[in-house]
A and B are shown apart, each in its own frame.
Chain A
Amino acid sequence: MSFADVIAQLGFGERGWGLALLEGALMTLLVSIAGLLIGAALGSLVAWSKLSGNIISAAVGNAYAAIFRGVPELLVVYFVYFGSSALLTGLGNLIGIEGFVGVPPFAAGALAVGIVSGAYQAEVYRGAYLAIARGELEAAKSVGMARLLMFRRIIAPQVLRFAIPGLGNLWQVALKDSSLISVTGLAELMRVSQVAAGSTRQPFVFYLAGGALYLLLTTLSNRVFDKAEARATRGLRRAAS
């Protein structure tokens, strides 16, 4: 395989996998974002359950976090992928929808990434909430602020601001966990690299190219999160930066 052949295969021509790789990278980005959002929803629920003081909900939240921090992400991906369709089809059959109710690989993959991410995001949100000055919450209560308003104007913005460093880290984790979704067949970056490597029998070239694209995604994400952190913490005095 000459060097020129390799470039042709990576490129955008007729035999070129370049476009497929870029589309895979886009898919990776989308499924990771979806996963992170699902994780945010689950994580805030768990954080809230732990902070609420209600023993039962705290126990449930703790169990969820402990379980999904303690089992391999690959296992979660397989479990969600195999199980979600079966579950939905079963539910569908109950209400009269015949046949298969499909969960597309994207949804199953995002869900799997989200479930695992949520277990870690819970701690980030909990820590961020505890970092809010008690005085502000007391003041809000003392002027009679409604709970929803207090959440919207005091808690949520500050939790987001303190959570950004942790979230930046977890976003990177989600990006990398998304590579595991390749086992479901979703055409994200890892999967495309695999197919290209198999089809052209050039594993080194294509896995390296895939890796390079992941590094690119990571670098760009870091920039975005750094900017977001700078913006969110402007005017804030902190012990360490």
Chain B
Amino acid sequence: MNMKLAFGMGVGAVLLFGSAVQAKDWKSVVIGMEGAYEPYNLTDPSGKIVGFEPDLVMDLCGRAKLECKIIAQDWDGMIPGLQAGKFDVIMDGMSITDERKKAIDFSKPYAQVPAAFAAAKASPLAKLPDPGKVYNFNKDPKAADAALQALRTAMKGKTLGVQVSTTHATFADKHLKDVATIKEYKTTDERDLDLKSGRIDAVLDDQTAVASMLSKDDAKDLTFVGPAFNGGDFGVGVGMGLRKADSDLTAKFNTALAAAFADGSVKKYSLKWFKIDTTP
């Protein structure tokens, strides 16, 4: 009994002291992504996660001298997973909003993408003027509100599809719920399938994600419709999500990001995956 007790205490001591030493010395970092949010990130047949964000994060990790691993995580478990410690960083086209800032911290934004609508070319929504014109709720609230009102009139009685727990879902819930039916989906793939089969009349998502969806063969009957929005409920850009306690890691990534912006790497990845420059 004495030997066992001593051994147990020894193990406990090692764990206590061992863990104290490894506390905040970031050597390896785990990144959480959906792997299903093209073109931010997607899964290829071999199971590897590729896309704008994998390219960018590997670049940043190289600059910050960190060993980074990407794991797949469903969108609706992102923030809980981060809080629980499953991974250390969320990088999944997540917009920086005040609501989310209550729970987690964000890096500086690495992309600025407005939210846009898509619908069938034959849909009455396609008749809305200036499809894809960007209105900013923060910079020009009057014009944005006017565009929103026009949108509300057009959306009367229609069904809009969004992904759960996104800024798009929040926006739809706040401004369109009383005129249209809002359907929430776990993944964007399922929502897009329903758009193509006509179950829903329109979808709302990041412009780059919508563009990627529209570029595929089976979306030839779909197009951008209505105004695009920035600011307000949609946040101030896309950033990496981190736990509040890990401010040193956030600082590391911000430094790396600044360097990546400076030498044009972010723009390079953006052009490669989004075909447009999304640097904020």
Contact = CB atoms under 8 A, between A and B. Distances in A.
- Asked if chains A and B come from one complex, the reply is yes
A203 B47 contact: no
Contact of A185 (B22, B47, B74): B74
A199 B86 contact: no
Nearest to A182: B74
Interface string A175-201: 000000001010100000011111101
Given A14-B45, A95-B12, A102 B190 contact: no
A99 B193 contact: no
Contact of A198 (B22, B23, B80, B187): B187
Contacts of A221: none
A96 B16 contact: yes
Contact of B45 (A17, A197, A203): A17
B23 A98 contact: yes
A198 B45 contact: no
B189 interface: yes
Interface range, A side: 20 to 34
B216 interface: yes
Contacts of B73: 185
A100 B86 contact: yes
Interface residues of B, number: 32
Given A96-B16, A98-B23, A201 B84 contact: no
A77 to B, nearest CB: 13
B15 A102 contact: no
Contacts of A86: 84
Contacts of B43: 195, 199
Given A15-B45, A97-B19, A185 B72 contact: yes
Contacts of B217: 1
Given A187-B47, A201-B216, A96 B12 contact: yes
B188 to A, nearest CB: 8
Contact of B190 (A95, A187, A198): A198
Interface in A81-127: 82, 85-86, 89, 95-100, 102
B184 to A, nearest CB: 16
Interface in A1-48: 1, 14-17, 19-20
B36 interface: yes
Given A183-B74, A195-B36, A85 B19 contact: no
Interface string B192-236: 110010000000000000000000111000000000000000000
Given A14-B45, A98-B23, 11 more contacts: A1-B217, A1-B218, A82-B80, A89-B85, A98-B22, A99-B19, A99-B85, A198-B187, A198-B189, A199-B36, A201-B193
16 contacts: A1-B218, A16-B45, A85-B84, A86-B84, A89-B84, A96-B15, A98-B20, A98-B22, A99-B19, A185-B73, A199-B42, A199-B43, A199-B189, A201-B192, A201-B196, A203-B193
Interface of A: 1, 14-17, 19-20, 82, 85-86, 89, 95-100, 102, 183, 185, 187, 194-199, 201, 203
